[in-house]
A and B are shown apart, each in its own frame.
Chain A
Amino acid sequence: MDFNHIILFLYAAILAGVPLLYGTLGEIIIEKSGNLNLGVEGMMYLGAIASFLAAYTFESAFLAIIFGFIAGMLGALIYAFLTVSLKANQNVTGLTLTVFGTGVANFIGERLKMTSEAGTVIVSDSVIRSLLPMKLGALSDIPVIGKLVFNHSILTYLSILFAILMSLYLNRSRLGLNLRAIGENPSAADAMGIDVNRYKYLHILFGGGLCGLGGVYIALVTCVGNWQPNIIGGQGWIAVALVIFASWKPLRAVFGSLIFGALSMLRLYIPKNIIDIPASIFNMLPFAVTCLVLVISSIRMKRENQQPAACGVNYFREER
């Protein structure tokens, strides 16, 4: 196994990790507001199909990204309305959003194929090209690093940017502080005059938008604009796991999605004669580790790396 091979492998890991990162970041910000949304998969589907439609119709990568984001937000809006305003059960609502989003995306995708004359629907090349890896001038020519770090799709850079901004927002800003307070103890936040419901709505919507971007990436970059049924294929669920793995921290999510991405690519890059561990065992590993993280953190009771304390419980001020 030569050095080039390793570089290729790492590069593939990054490619595979990006949609996971979007989903994870989206779910982190939602959970930070005290809501467990099991609808990540559904929101990714919505983002994927919306961006696909936009790219197909308007032939614009920019509009595709915007539409993907908005579609994720709309999915999240249903969830937010039901859980925040109508205090519906979060688990059931999230699962339903997944079923619904999957249904809508597959429905529209299938319908497009059925009604198109050619029997296939492919996004025009210009859109795909503008989402291909872009060279960042001389930076991209640096050996190894140039290929690994400075040779990516705009969506990849954007995801890292989101992670950094989110980390700053959560840990350094007043709004982020307020948000974390809502996730931990909404009645304390309420008593300090923070509008709990407004925060929840805004962050659930934004999180949904990020999940939508994950879908955009899968539809237009991973699948290069070639719609397939079940296009998300469980990556939204992996993102839910990654949130735990990353201990609800955006920057750890970057490494987490890289690791999860790498593990999913491993079987293609490790020659059998070096390590003969089946790919499925590698695929299992991240989840096993996530379980361990979950158990250990509940045993150690370290307060900082836990799920936000009020996550999963709806807030009603007059509860007695």
Chain B
Amino acid sequence: MLGRFHLYVSQRGEVSKAQEYTMRILALIAALIAGGVFLLLLGFNPFEIYATMLKGALSTAGMRQETVKLMIPLCLTSLGVTLAFKMRFWNVGAEGQICAGAIAASYFAYFHNHLPQEILLSVMAIAAIIAGGLWGMLPAYFKTRFGTNETLFTLMLNYIIGFFITYLREGPWRDPEGGFAATPRFLKQARLPLVNFPGVGNVHIGCIVMFVVLIWTFFYLKYTKQGYELTVVGENINTARYAGMPVQRIILRTMFLSAGICGLVGMLQVAGPDRQLTDAVANGRGFTAVSIAWLSRLSPIGIAMVSFLFSVMEKGCSMMQTDFRIPASMSEILQGIILFCVLGGEFFINFRIGRIRREA
């Protein structure tokens, strides 16, 4: 930018789908190379490491089972936030909505566990969806009514509900028999049944829920009136008004669904792998989901792929810790690098750089 040349940025008019995907693939390759260089600097052979990662996540049924368990909440939460993002509503509150669902589900697991398993689990799921949904509608209401900034609001709500879990865990819901301040374990009837998948082994039923929601989201966005409406609102709120759409109602409804799915994740976590209500029920997944949804361009199929990739990375990196003494946080570094590269690559899809000769 110095000297006689002046870089000049202008918006690109049209880009073909092929160009767009080429650009993204280039960005991914760049990310792999950047990660490789990082590993190289640490004195490792990047090819070996990448291979180990893949092996560590996928080579045995047990590993695949762990990877799938990581993928379930990640994929579902990403699907949830996608509904809101498609409407250009910045829901960074998935974290809190997961907590809300977990609390509601745990309430029934602790206090109404006389019910038979099928009924109890159904009630827990419905309660979780409603609790998560309402928690997410709160910022949506203020947004439509007063224009309150939803990014900051949803962010704040995460902490409030997070501390509420701590309160429950330390106070009213504390297991009187435990030495630590922890909630009791769920009874058998409040735990998700396991399903055997060939090649993977026993995974809790949340896996099926994931596939159902994945397909549901795909159809909802593509083939229903409501999905159509929220897409129009997201693309152009003025056009939505011109077409006579009830914009406020659409925003509230969509946020209920978006947050409801996240709430369901909370139920699946407490009744699945966690078996109790813990502070770490969301564990940053609400934020990772934002990245996944964005990386997948809000496509449900893409979300399935990216959340699988992220789970492989997470599982694979935990493997490297034992094999190579490379800390598992390598997974977060790789995630970061991939996202940075794709974020940067996006620029070259939307803009072009020209040079102008500077005479002065």
Contacts and interface: CB of A to CB of B under 8 A. Distances in A.
Does A pair with B?
Answer: yes
Interface in B113-153: 142, 146-149, 151-153
A103 B287 CA distance: 14
A59 interface: no
Contacts of A170: none
Contacts of A280: 163-164, 166-167, 170-171
30 contacts: A38-B92, A88-B343, A88-B346, A91-B90, A91-B290, A92-B294, A93-B343, A96-B336, A96-B339, A96-B340, A99-B291, A99-B335, A102-B332, A103-B330, A103-B332, A104-B332, A104-B336, A110-B327, A111-B327, A114-B327, A237-B159, A240-B152, A279-B166, A283-B166, A287-B159, A288-B160, A290-B156, A298-B147, A298-B148, A319-B11
Given A102-B329, A104-B329, A238-B159, 19 more contacts: A38-B155, A85-B347, A92-B343, A96-B339, A103-B332, A104-B333, A110-B327, A110-B329, A241-B159, A244-B156, A278-B171, A280-B164, A284-B167, A287-B159, A290-B156, A294-B149, A295-B142, A316-B11, A318-B10
B interface, by DSSP: helix, strand, loop or mixed? helix
B78 interface: no
Interface of A: 36, 38, 78, 81-82, 85-89, 91-93, 95-104, 106-107, 109-111, 114-115, 237-238, 240-241, 244, 278-281, 283-284, 287-288, 290-291, 294-295, 298-299, 307, 312, 316, 318-319
A81 B343 CA distance: 11
A288 B167 CA distance: 15
Contact of B290 (A85, A95, A241): A95
Contacts of B329: 102-104, 106-107, 110
Interface string B272-290: 0000000000000001101
B153 A291 contact: yes
B11 A98 contact: no
A99 B336 contact: yes
Contacts, number: 159
A49 to B, nearest CB: 11
B151 to A, nearest CB: 6
Interface in B328-357: 328-337, 339-340, 343-344, 346-347, 350-351
What's the interface size class on B, roughly? 35 or more
B343 A96 contact: yes
Interface of B: 9-11, 42, 90, 92, 142, 146-149, 151-153, 155-160, 163-164, 166-167, 170-171, 287-288, 290-291, 294, 325-337, 339-340, 343-344, 346-347, 350-351
A320 to B, nearest CB: 9
B344 A103 contact: no
A280 B343 CA distance: 37
A97 B336 CA distance: 7
A280 B161 CA distance: 10
A282 to B, nearest CB: 9
A29 B346 CA distance: 27
B159 A284 contact: yes
A177 to B, nearest CB: 24
Contact of A312 (B151, B294, B332): B151
A104 B344 CA distance: 20
A103 B167 CA distance: 29
Nearest to B171: A278
